[in-house]
Amino acid sequence: MRLPTLTGILLTALLSAVAGAGEASKLQVVTTTGMVKDLVQQVGGDRITVDAIMSEGVDPHLYQPTATDVRKVLAADLVFASGLNLEGRMTEVFEQSDAMGKKVVFVTDGVNEELFIESADYPGQPDPHVWHDVTQWATGIPVVVEALTKADPEGASVYEANAARYADRLNGLNGYVTWVMSSVPQKQRVLITAHDAFGYFGQAYGIEVRGVQGISTESEAGIKDINELVDFIVENGITAVFIEASVNDRNVQALVEGARERGQEVTIGGTLYSDSMGAPGTWEGTYEGMIEHNVNLMSTALGGSAPENGYRGAASLDAEGS
């Protein structure tokens, strides 16, 4: 049986989108990842309805769009993506959407290019994991404000007010991350994870980062890669490594076993949220909660500390004292 082409799916979806236009009063927005959804929702507030294509635990590097995803994209008033080739397998959908007059907005368009980390896997292509540097992720706020205001001019003042409040919160979160990570002893400031997703985190908060796989999970780690990282772990006395919620843990487990065979005891420091957030409706299912979870886990596993009341508790204490 002949399968429908992506172009055919796009055309069918476009007709469905036109037929259903005007059914909802709120601005209908579609995003790729949960991180982008949270950013857009914080700015849009009650004036928009947001739907993320990728759910918790989904690897955006490997995600293949479905016919349902295409229909969502073409039915939306606005489409937001992270960009920098994070959602590489959705490129054709983005291009077709642009060609049909629905331009995809990339929230990383506001990032200072001088701070880009180049991908070793794809020379000339920046590392897309910008959200792990809170300050750089906040540069997406004005990008979102501009796009929402263009689509809904009457909501401009609401978007600006929401954006200002959220920018203040992210400024506080950035301070919290800096403070907590400062407690990690200098000799233990090494973060080893399943893939190289935390380069911007390391650049912003002063910690060396190593991944079994490269910046994209499409790059497979070989025995040589694992053995070299085991050598590094043993030579530097590393005692904790981390798995990731959206990446298979087999390579990290291989590091632990390889180090143990050479007399170095290494523990799993916990599960980090790298390319996706936690479950919807949980604190970890928000960008702020995702970042707090990660930094608290990293710090305590690497010999530092984190406050018992966490970021939200610290933020409320600051508010009471101001």
The domain locations on the chain are 27-177, 182-302
Fold of 27-177: Rossmann fold (3.40.50)
Q: What is the pLDDT of residues 40-71, one digit of tens each?
A: 999 999 999 999 999 988 989 899 999 999 99
Grade residue 196 by pLDDT with cuts at 50, 70 and 90.
confident
CATH pick for 182-302 out of 3.40.50.20, 3.40.50.1980, 3.30.70.20, 3.40.250.10: 3.40.50.1980
Given a cut of 80, whether residue 299 has pLDDT beyond it is yes
Question: Looking at residues 212-241, what average pLDDT do you find?
Answer: 79
Q: How far apart are alpha carbons 78 and 97 in whole angstroms?
A: 11
Given a cut of 90, whether residue 90 has pLDDT beyond it is yes
**The tokens 């079994």 sit on which residue?**
212
Which amino acid is located at 274 in the chain? S
Q: How far apart are alpha carbons 154 and 213 in whole angstroms?
A: 46
pTM comes to 0.86
Residue 20's Cα: distance from chain center in Å?
31
Helix (H, G, I), strand (E, B) or coil at 192: strand
